[in-house]
Amino acid sequence: MPVVYIVDDEVAVSTALARSLSKRGYQVETFESAERFLEKFQPQRIACLVLDIRMPGMSGTELQDHLSSREIILPIIFVTGHGDIPMSVRAIKAGAVDFLEKPYPVELLVDRVNDALEQCKKLMDEAEIHQEVTRRYESLTPRECDVMTLLVAGAANASNKVIARELDISHRTVDDHRARVMAKMQARSLPELVEMSKVCGVHRSENA
Nearest to 51 by CA among 1, 107, 2, 112: 112
Q: How far is CA 76 from the centre of its chain?
A: 13
Q: What is the mean pLDDT of each run of 10 residues along the chain (208 residues)?
A: 94 92 95 95 91 91 94 93 76 88 89 96 93 95 93 73 88 92 94 90 54
Q: Are 122 and 160 in a shared domain?
A: no
Residue 52 lies in a domain: yes
Predicted local distance difference test score (pLDDT) of residue 83: 64
Q: Are 8 and 110 in a shared domain?
A: yes
Residue 131 lies in a domain: no
Determine the Cα–Cα distance for residues 153 and 202; give it in Å rounded to an integer.
9
Predicted local distance difference test score (pLDDT) of residue 85: 72
Q: 27: which strand partners? A: 3
Look at the pTM and tell me if it is higher than 0.95. Answer: no
Determine the Cα–Cα distance for residues 37 and 203; give it in Å rounded to an integer.
40
Domain stop point among 66, 97, 126? 126
Count of CB atoms within 10 A of residue 54's CB?
14
Predicted local distance difference test score (pLDDT) of residue 205: 43
| Domain that residue 66 falls in | 3-126
Q: Are 115 and 146 in a shared domain?
A: no
